Structures are given as structure tokens and as C-alpha cells.
């Protein structure tokens, strides 16, 4: 079953099995998957619990940021008010934007994924449950600490995109900006961990038969979103790191007077920032698509076109970042190209809208709460999309830039593209997780209040913007003739708040979390797998999927699944398991053993949060201790999960045998490692872009690099490290000696450190200092990035040595060796590339 081919007809015909699963098997499944009780709830790792915690926390941040919005609207309800001071207003609008974008929108769509995805694709859980738990806890601790900064008057106040020089050490001397720069670190870690989980989960743990063409649209959107996160987030990781270096150590990367350039921040930020909007929008659009399909009781019209549109939007979103910079004086041709690409986004977005309309037209839509939210989303989103086309045109953008017109545009897009679909999703999917469905009647009230509130709030902002009201002003004068418009907007904001309040009442009255079964069930008649009867183990057996709406196509599917007539009706190993399937046709390939509850993810999250927060208040020693403790916690967690399994192959139902352990490119850990290395690669690529940018823009600050001939040891040691790390796997295969292989990896790590040291001394010898010029700042930042990777390599090599001495490395193939070898190979290659490129881009500037 190693080849990615469809399941043969002979195998498919074995399902549903003639014999039902036994009650003893079901009891064993329930025992294996039971949740931790009492105070141990925080050790839970199952997607049901983590997903629920995630959604609840994201919603809490939505409420907090919403309260900040109301404070702003009260301040702006009338001219020349003093309800908020200018400084407080700056903090409030910065926190509103930051919390909504980083602590609500991205985590909320990831939360929906964590909660729904396994059931939707027929997996028992995500492939790395402890990673999900870690991502959640780090988000909770980091988010709460970050938000608490506002109570101490220490919240960031430079706007959610934090442009230098305003946010540099001269104009923002306090630690407010540091809270943003390091606080965002939590979300970056959490989002990337979630993205890795989704990519591997969607590509490798789908139910047998669920080929790519049969995947639910939400799975497609989460896949594209995850790829976008691993491409886009590294840019903001690098940007925040560079600005923090700028602030903490006086490096001049964004200081134009010393060979830096503040525009570099805008490029780096918006390369992440604009795709971020689509990272939020695409899952929203997918939820919308699924809602529309169900309320219209029709399969999605133009399913491949919707998939294509999701893919196209994801790609094109990476070519539009400079439309946020039309007024910064970038070259005319660049402006023209970005304007063209920005308008090109209408192609896939329009295609999606027409597919939604066609689906509604093809079916008989019901105007229940999810239906209203779905249709309302389309209307609000299209309104925002149209003003988006307006601001994609340069002459108009020059007029509207930084005005309330933009505030109106972005809120229409985000509310229509994400918030309305999310509320629709709450009503649609709540019965899958609650003993009672939410009230449809109350849901309609929620919809109409929010829908009316949205237009009343944001429609007048278009006019206020066109009349010249700039965004981010804490007040305005009576003579500006925007009083009435602002008063109407304030009334609208309270209408939206009323809608949210009614929703909360509905939740309190009706929502009763029921993760172990006993939920309200398929109230709206959905056709996808998450509506199968389920317990904490997900479904009793994993179905064979033959269509996009399996529950509509096979009316006996739920009964047969519940009777254990499909895959994995029992636990073969007595542990938590799910099926690993092939990427395209979802043919069973492996029985994946999943880890259970553990205290280590939350422990690692506590210390990781401590590391960032202590750095923020400049307690370097304590931060280091916290960082070391985080690494120790992660090592213990890895040690526990990295276990040899006695059973080599298992019957997954129908007499089909699959291995319980695979190494090499088929292993899910290797997939995750490759994805993570892609993140590191993107950080490196963006750092090289930064060097290139400053090289071309600030040539007079450039100095000559160490000569290639004087860099002999950099290349010799680098090549030796690369060769050794590449040969680790074949060493284990041929020599079957784990100690030797782990030793070779350790030596490779030491050689790479030697290469890095030689590189550092080379730059020191020519006199380049990080605080002297933009070139110095970037070159040393690249070295710092490389050093952090080397630290990871060192820890990995020590871990491999410890495993080898404990006799825990399997032979002749080991996933640990695969992963260590991959990381070391990448690090050595990046070190060589960095040495070549920093030298090449330093000549002739």
C-alpha cells in the first residue's frame, strides 16, 4: 500500500463488514480515549477539548477587543470629547486591531479547524495532539499577559502594524512596543504549530477513499491557510526580531540615517499582513460554502472552481502587499504592477461568489439562522470587496489612504469574510458539540442586530473618510461636519454589541458542552462526516468515503459506522490510534499511534511564555532560565512519545494489514519537520531579501566583506558538516550502529558551529559591527538566526546521543535519525548559503 493509488474495488467491497464490532471493543475504545478528570483537565490533548478551549479563548478575546471598540466609539460619538485621553486612545486602537487580528481572528479559524477537522476528515484526532495542546496553552498565557498590559498603561500604542520610526526607541522609549513585538511571538509559535498540524493532518489522516477531490471545502481552505501561514508568518517573525534588535541594542536596521530603511519594515510586515487577511478569509469563505450547501440542500455547484479559487486567492495574496504602500514613494512601475495584481484578486473571489449564488439557486434554501448568516456574509463581503477594488486603483487610494474610508473597507471585508461566517458556523456546528442546539429564533435576532449594526456602523465611515476624516485620531472638531456620521457609527457599534450580547445569552441558555457523545446531532441536515455519531474517540469506526456528501449519499452510513462495520472498529495496540493514508487518494498506509494526556505541553507552554514575557521586561537571566526549562519540558514530552511499538503490523478492518511504524518520507514526523524547515527557510529568505533591499537602497553605507579566500574555514567546516549530516541515515542503514550515527550527528553539529564561528570572526576582522549600519544589523541578525538553529541542532544531537545510549534508536531505520539528519542538513546548507550571499551582496554596492 505504499503507492498512492485508489483502494481496489475488491478491498472497497469488504465494507461495510458483514459482522458488527463487539461491545467489548467499544468499551476499550472509550477507556483509551477517556478524558482526564477533575483538575487534570489541563493535561487533555484531545482535539475535542483543545478545540473547545481554543474557541472559548478566541471568543473571550473577541469580547475584550469589542469592548475596546465600544470605548473608541464612545469617545468619537461627539466632537472634542475627553472620555479617553490621547495616549489611552492610542493604546486602545492599537490593542483593538492587534487583539482582533492576532488573538481572535487567526486563532478562531485555527480553533474551528482543531475542533472540526478530525471528525470532518474521518480521523480520530489530529496527528500531533500534544502540539495542539502546546499551541493552545501558549496562546492562552501569552494572549492574557499581552492583553493585561493595557491595565498597566503599558499596552503598545503604535497601531497594529507598528511602523518604525514611530515604534523605534527614539519615539517609543517605553516597553509598550516591546510588549507588541514579543507578545506577537506567542501567536507566531501557536499559529505555525497549528499550521503544521493541519498540513500533516489533512494530507495524511483522511478517511480511506476521501481523495483530494472529495475533501470538504473547509479542509481545502485550512490546507491553503496553513501553507499561507508557513509562507507569510516567517516574514513578521523576522520583522519583529529585527525591530526588537533595533530597539534593544540600537541596531540601525530601520534607521535611514545609519544605512537602514523604515520602508523595509513595511515590506516585511505587509508581505505577512495582507496574506493574513486571506488567512482569515479563506476558512471563513469555506465555512460559508458548507453552510450554503447545507441550507440549500445542494452539493456545492462548481466545487473544483471553489477549490481553484481558494488556491488562486492564496497564491495571489502574496503579490499584493505593496498596495498598502502606494503613498510611500515606491517606483511608479512597482505601483502599477501591484495595482494590477490587487485587482486580479477579484477573479477568484468573484468565482467563489458566483458559485455560492449558483448553489443557493440550485437548491431550496432555508432561511434559518445559519442560512441568514451565510447570505448576510455574502452581502457584507461583496460590499467590502467592491471598495477593495476601488482602493486597488492608485489615484483613488492616494485620496482615501489612512482615512475612515479604509476603516470602513477593512471592517466590511473582515466582518463579511470571517465574523459572519463564524457566527453562522457557531449556530450550524454547535449541535455537534452541545447537548442542545442553539435557538434558531434567537439566532435570527443575533443576525439581524449584527447585520443592521454592521451597516449602521461602517457605511457612514465611507462618507466620513471621503470628507477627510483621518483614521486613528482620538477626536475631531465640530466644524469638520462629521459629527452626525460619527454619532450614527457609534449607535451602530452598540447594535452589533447588542447582537453579540443576545448570542451570549443564547449560549448560556442552551450550550452544554458534550464532548463524549450525547450531543444534539445533525439538526440542520449536513452531509459531511462530522455529523456521524461520535464519542471522544471520534467515530466508532472510520468510514470508507465515496462522495463529497457521504451522509446524503448513503443513508445507512451512520448506522454502519456506529456498529463498527468500517475501518478501525477496535484498538489494535491498546493505544490511541488513527489511520495514516496516502496524500491524493487516501489509501490506508499506516496505523498511527497517538500520544495521550500529558502535563508536559502545558509545562513547556508556561516556560515558553515566561521566556518571552521576561524578555519584555528585560530580565535576561530569568528569561534564559525559563527558556532552558521550556526546552527540558519539550525533551521530556518527546522522550515519552518517541516509543518503539512491539506490534509490527495491524489489521485495520476487512483483513487489511498496515504497519504500525514507518520511517523516511512516509513518516508524519518527517512531514512535520520538512514543513518546519520551510518556515526557517522563509525566515532566511526574507532576511536575504532585507539585505538585498538595503544593499540597493543604502549603498553608501556598505562595506566590503571578508574575502572568499579568507573564509576558507567557513566553507570547509560547513561542507564537512553538510556531508556528515547527509550521511547519517546511510550510516545507520549500513553499519546498524546507533551510537556511531548519533555521534556523527553530534560531530556535524559541532562542525556547523565551527563554521558559524569562523564566519563571525571573518566579519569582525573586516570591522563590521551590528550597530554601525543597516548592513551590519542584517548580517548579524542572519548570524543570530543561524545560531538559534545551531542551538536546536545541538539539543537534537544530544537527544539522539541519549536515545542511542539508552538503546532506544530503532535499526536499521529510525525516524529520530531521519529528523535530526534533516534539521542538521538544512542548518549546514543555510549556513553555507548565508556565508555566500552575505559576501556576494556586499560587493559593488
Partner 1 sequence: MLHFQLWISLIGAFLVWGVHFAGLYLAAEFAPQTIRVVAPILLVLGLATNGWIFKRANTANPFVATIGGGSAVISSIAILWQTLPVYV
Q: Which residues bind partner 1 (CB under 8 A)?
A: 4, 212-213, 304-305, 307-308, 311-312, 315-316, 318-319, 330-337, 339-341, 343-344, 347-348, 584, 692, 696
Q: How far is the CB of 341 from partner 1 (least distance, A)?
A: 5
What is the Cβ-side half-sphere exposure of residue 334, based on CA atoms within 13 angstroms? 12
Q: How far is the CB of 264 from partner 1 (least distance, A)?
A: 12
Tell which residue, 380, 495, 366, 514, has the closest CA to residue 440: 366
Q: How far is the CB of 395 from partner 1 (least distance, A)?
A: 13
Q: Which grid coordinates belong to 583?
A: 496524500
Query: By C-beta, is 334 or 399 nearer to partner 1?
Result: 334
Q: What are phi and psi of 650, to 5 degrees?
A: -135, 150
Q: What are phi and psi of 804, to 5 degrees?
A: -65, -45
Q: What are phi and psi of 588, to 5 degrees?
A: -55, 135
Query: By C-beta, is 248 or 308 nearer to partner 1?
Result: 308
Q: Is the dihedral of CA 825, 828, 832, 837 positive or negative?
A: positive
What residue spans of 642-737 are helical by DSSP H? 668-697, 712-726, 728-735
Query: By C-beta, is 589 or 827 nearer to partner 1?
Result: 589
Query: By C-beta, is 521 or 664 nearer to partner 1?
Result: 664
**β-strand partners of 90:** none
Burial (Cβ within 10 Å: 0-12, 13-18, ≥19) of residue 5: exposed
Report DSSP state, residue 470. Answer: B
Query: By C-beta, is 304 or 478 nearer to partner 1?
Result: 304
Q: How far is the CB of 603 from partner 1 (least distance, A)?
A: 39
Q: How far is the CB of 352 from partner 1 (least distance, A)?
A: 13
**How far is residue 585's CA from residue 733's CA, in Å, rounded to a whole number?**
30
Query: By C-beta, is 286 or 415 nearer to partner 1?
Result: 286
3-class SS at 301?
Answer: coil
Query: By C-beta, is 315 or 445 nearer to partner 1?
Result: 315
Query: By C-beta, is 322 or 828 nearer to partner 1?
Result: 322
**How far is residue 96's CA from residue 115's CA, in Å, rounded to a whole number?**
26
Cα 490 off chain centre by: 33
Q: How far is the CB of 486 from partner 1 (least distance, A)?
A: 37
For residues 496 and 453, is the Cβ–Cβ distance under 8 A? yes
**Beta-carbon contacts of residue 156 (< 8 Å; ≥ 6 apart):** 91, 94, 95, 98, 149, 162, 167, 176, 177, 179, 180, 183
What is the Cβ-side half-sphere exposure of residue 85, based on CA atoms within 13 angstroms? 4
Q: Cis omega (within 30 of 0) on the bond before 812?
A: yes
Q: How far is the CB of 270 from partner 1 (least distance, A)?
A: 13
**Beta-carbon contacts of residue 684 (< 8 Å; ≥ 6 apart):** 782, 785, 830, 833, 834
Q: How far is the CB of 117 from partner 1 (least distance, A)?
A: 20
Burial (Cβ within 10 Å: 0-12, 13-18, ≥19) of residue 479: exposed
Query: By C-beta, is 105 or 215 nearer to partner 1?
Result: 215
Q: What are phi and psi of 434, to 5 degrees?
A: -125, 150
- The enclosing H or E element of 577 equals strand 576-581
Q: How far is the CB of 578 from partner 1 (least distance, A)?
A: 23
Q: What are phi and psi of 75, to 5 degrees?
A: -60, -35
Query: By C-beta, is 391 or 817 nearer to partner 1?
Result: 391
Query: By C-beta, is 175 or 307 nearer to partner 1?
Result: 307
Burial (Cβ within 10 Å: 0-12, 13-18, ≥19) of residue 45: buried
Q: How far is the CB of 594 from partner 1 (least distance, A)?
A: 27
For residues 843 and 703, is the Cβ–Cβ distance under 8 A? no
Query: By C-beta, is 584 or 766 nearer to partner 1?
Result: 584
Report DSSP state, residue 100. Answer: I
Q: How far is the CB of 303 from partner 1 (least distance, A)?
A: 8
Query: By C-beta, is 163 or 318 nearer to partner 1?
Result: 318
Q: What angle (nearest 5°) sits at the alpha carbon of residue 518, between those of residues 444 and 121?
A: 80
Query: By C-beta, is 231 or 593 nearer to partner 1?
Result: 231
- Calculate the CA dihedral of residues 573, 113, 297, 288 and round it to 10 degrees: -170
Burial (Cβ within 10 Å: 0-12, 13-18, ≥19) of residue 37: exposed
Query: By C-beta, is 13 or 696 nearer to partner 1?
Result: 696
Q: How far is the CB of 680 from partner 1 (least distance, A)?
A: 20
Q: How far is the CB of 558 from partner 1 (least distance, A)?
A: 26
Q: How far is the CB of 150 from partner 1 (least distance, A)?
A: 38
What residue spans of 250-368 are helical by DSSP H? 262-295, 303-316, 332-344, 346-362
Q: How far is the CB of 307 from partner 1 (least distance, A)?
A: 6
Q: How far is the CB of 723 from partner 1 (least distance, A)?
A: 30
Query: By C-beta, is 149 or 351 nearer to partner 1?
Result: 351
C-alpha dist (Å) from residue 11 to 549, 571, 658: 21, 20, 13
3-class SS at 277?
Answer: helix
Query: By C-beta, is 393 or 448 nearer to partner 1?
Result: 393
Cα 247 off chain centre by: 27
**How far is residue 221's CA from residue 225's CA, in Å, rounded to a whole number?**
6
Q: How far is the CB of 394 from partner 1 (least distance, A)?
A: 10
Amino acid at each position: 500500500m505504499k503507492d498512492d493509488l485508489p483502494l481496489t474495488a475488491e478491498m472497497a467491497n469488504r465494507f461495510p463488514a458483514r459482522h458488527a464490532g463487539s461491545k467489548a471493543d467499544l468499551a476499550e475504545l472509550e477507556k483509551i480515549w477517556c478524558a482526564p478528570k477533575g483538575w487534570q483537565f489541563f493535561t487533555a490533548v484531545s482535539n475535542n477539548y483543545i478545540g473547545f478551549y481554543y474557541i472559548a479563548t478566541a471568543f473571550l478575546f473577541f469580547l475584550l477587543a469589542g469592548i475596546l471598540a465600544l470605548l473608541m466609539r464612545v469617545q468619537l460619538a461627539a466632537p472634542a470629547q475627553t472620555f479617553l485621553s490621547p495616549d489611552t486612545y492610542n493604546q486602545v486602537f492599537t490593542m483593538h486591531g492587534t487583539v482582533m487580528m492576532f488573538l481572535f481572528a487567526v486563532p478562531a479559524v485555527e480553533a474551528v479547524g482543531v475542533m472540526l477537522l478530525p471528525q470532518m476528515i474521518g480521523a480520530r484526532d489530529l496527528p500531533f495532539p500534544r502540539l495542539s495542546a502546546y499551541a493552545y496553552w501558549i496562546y492562552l498565557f501569552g494572549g492574557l499577559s499581552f492583553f493585561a498590559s493595557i491595565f498597566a498603561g503599558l499596552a503598545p500604542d503604535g497601531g497594529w502594524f507598528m511602523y518604525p520610526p514611530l515604534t523605534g526607541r527614539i519615539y517609543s522609549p517605553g516597553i509598550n512596543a516591546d510588549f507588541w513585538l514579543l507578545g506577537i511571538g506567542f501567536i507566531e509559535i501557536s499559529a505555525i504549530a497549528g499550521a503544521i498540524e493541519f498540513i500533516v493532518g489533512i494530507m495524511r489522516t483522511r478517511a480511506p477513499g476521501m481523495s483530494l477531490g472529495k475533501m470538504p471545502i473547509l479542509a481545502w481552505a485550512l490546507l491553503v491557510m496553513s501553507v499561507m501561514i508557513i509562507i507569510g508568518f516567517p516574514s513578521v517573525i523576522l520583522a519583529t526580531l529585527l525591530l526588537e534588535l533595533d530597539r534593544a541594542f540600537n541596531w540601525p536596521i530601520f534607521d535611514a540615517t545609519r544605512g537602514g530603511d523604515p520602508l523595509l519594515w513595511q515590506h516585511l510586515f505587509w508581505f505577512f499582513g495582507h496574506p493574513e487577511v486571506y488567512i482569515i478569509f479563506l476558512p471563513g469563505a469555506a465555512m460559508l460554502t458548507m453552510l450554503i450547501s447545507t441550507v440549500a440542500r445542494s452539493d456545492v455547484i462548481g466545487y473544483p472552481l471553489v477549490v481553484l479559487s481558494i488556491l488562486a486567492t492564496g497564491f495571489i495574496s502574496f503579490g499584493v502587499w505593496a498596495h498598502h504602500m502606494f503613498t510611500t514613494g515606491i517606483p511608479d512601475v512597482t505601483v502599477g504592477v501591484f495595482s494590477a495584481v490587487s485587482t486580479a484578486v477579484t477573479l477568484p473571489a468573484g468565482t467563489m461568489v458566483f458559485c455560492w449564488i449558483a448553489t443557493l439557486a440550485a437548491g431550496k434554501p432555508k432561511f434559518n439562522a445559519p442560512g441568514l448568516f451565510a447570505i448576510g456574509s455574502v452581502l457584507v463581503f461583496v460590499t467590502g470587496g467592491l471598495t477593495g477594488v476601488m482602493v486597488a486603483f492608485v489615484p483613488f487610494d492616494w485620496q482615501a489612504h489612512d482615512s475612515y474610508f479604509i476603516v470602513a473597507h477593512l471592517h466590511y471585508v473582515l466582518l463579511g469574510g470571517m465574523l459572519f461566517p463564524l457566527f453562522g458556523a457557531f449556530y450550524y456546528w454547535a449541535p455537534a458539540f452541545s447537548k442542545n442546539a442553539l435557538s434558531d429564533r434567537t439566532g435570527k435576532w443575533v443576525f439581524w442586530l449584527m447585520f443592521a449594526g454592521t451597516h449602521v456602523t461602517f457605511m457612514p465611515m465611507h462618507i466620513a473618510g471621503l470628507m477627510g476624516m483621518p483614521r486613528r485620531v482620538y477626536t475631531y472638531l465640530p466644524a469638520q461636519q462629521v459629527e452626525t456620521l460619527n454619532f450614527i457609527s457609534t449607535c451602530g457599534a452598540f447594535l452589533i454589541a447588542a447582537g453579540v450580547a443576545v448570542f451570549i445569552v443564547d449560549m448560556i441558555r442552551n450550550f452544554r458542552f458534550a464532548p463524549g457523545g450525547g450531543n444534539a446531532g445533525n439538526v440542520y441536515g449536513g452531509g459531511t462526516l462530522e455529523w456521524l455519531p461520535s464519542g471522544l474517540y471520534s467515530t466508532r469506526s472510520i468510514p470508507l468515503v465515496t462522495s463529497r456528501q457521504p451522509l446524503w449519499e448513503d443513508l445507512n452510513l451512520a448506522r454502519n459506522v456506529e456498529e463498527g462495520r468500517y475501518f478501525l472498529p477496535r484498538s489494535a495496540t491498546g493505544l490511541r490510534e488513527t489511520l495514516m493514508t496516502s496524500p491524493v487518494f487516501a489509501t490506508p498506509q499506516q496505523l498511527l499511534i497517538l500520544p495521550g494526556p500529558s502535563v508536559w505541553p502545558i509545562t513547556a507552554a508556561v516556560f515558553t511564555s515566561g521566556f518571552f514575557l521576561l524578555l519584555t521586561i528585560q530580565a535576561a537571566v530569568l528569561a534564559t532560565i525559563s527558556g532552558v526549562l521550556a526546552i527540558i519540558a519539550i525533551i521530556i514530552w518527546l522522550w515519552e512519545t518517541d516509543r518503539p511499538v512491539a506490534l509490527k503490523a495491524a489489521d485495520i478492518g476487512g483483513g487489511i494489514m498496515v504497519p504500525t511504524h514507518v520511517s523516511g518520507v512516509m513518516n508524519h514526523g518527517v512531514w512535520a519537520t520538512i514543513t518546519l524547515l520551510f518556515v526557517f527557510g522563509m525566515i532566511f529568505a526574507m532576511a536575504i531579501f532585507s539585505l538585498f533591499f538595503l544593499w540597493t537602497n543604502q549603498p553608501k553605507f556598505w562595506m566590503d566583506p571578508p574575502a572568499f579566500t579568507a573564509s576558507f574555514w567557513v566553507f570547509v567546516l560547513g561542507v564537512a558538516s553538510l556531508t556528515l549530516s547527509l550521511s547519517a541515515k546511510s550510516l545507520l542503514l549500513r553499519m546498524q550502529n546507533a551510537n556511531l550515527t548519533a555521534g556523527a550527528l553530534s560531530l556535524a553539529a559541532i562542525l556547523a558551529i565551527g563554521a558559524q564561528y569562523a564566519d563571525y570572526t571573518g566579519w569582525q576582522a573586516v570591522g563590521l559591527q551590528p550597530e554601525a549600519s543597516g548592513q551590519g544589523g542584517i548580517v548579524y541578525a542572519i548570524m543570530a538566526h543561524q545560531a538559534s538553529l545551531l542551538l536546536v541542532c545541538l539539543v537534537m544531537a544530544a537527544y539522539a546521543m541519549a536515545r542511542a545510549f539508552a538503546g532506544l534508536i530503532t535499526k536499521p531505520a529510525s525516524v529520530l535519525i531521519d529528523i535530526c539528519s534533516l534539521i542538521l542538513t538544512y542548518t549546514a546548507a543555510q549556513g553555507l548559503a548565508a556565508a555566500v550571499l552575505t559576501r556576494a551582496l556586499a560587493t559593488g554596492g
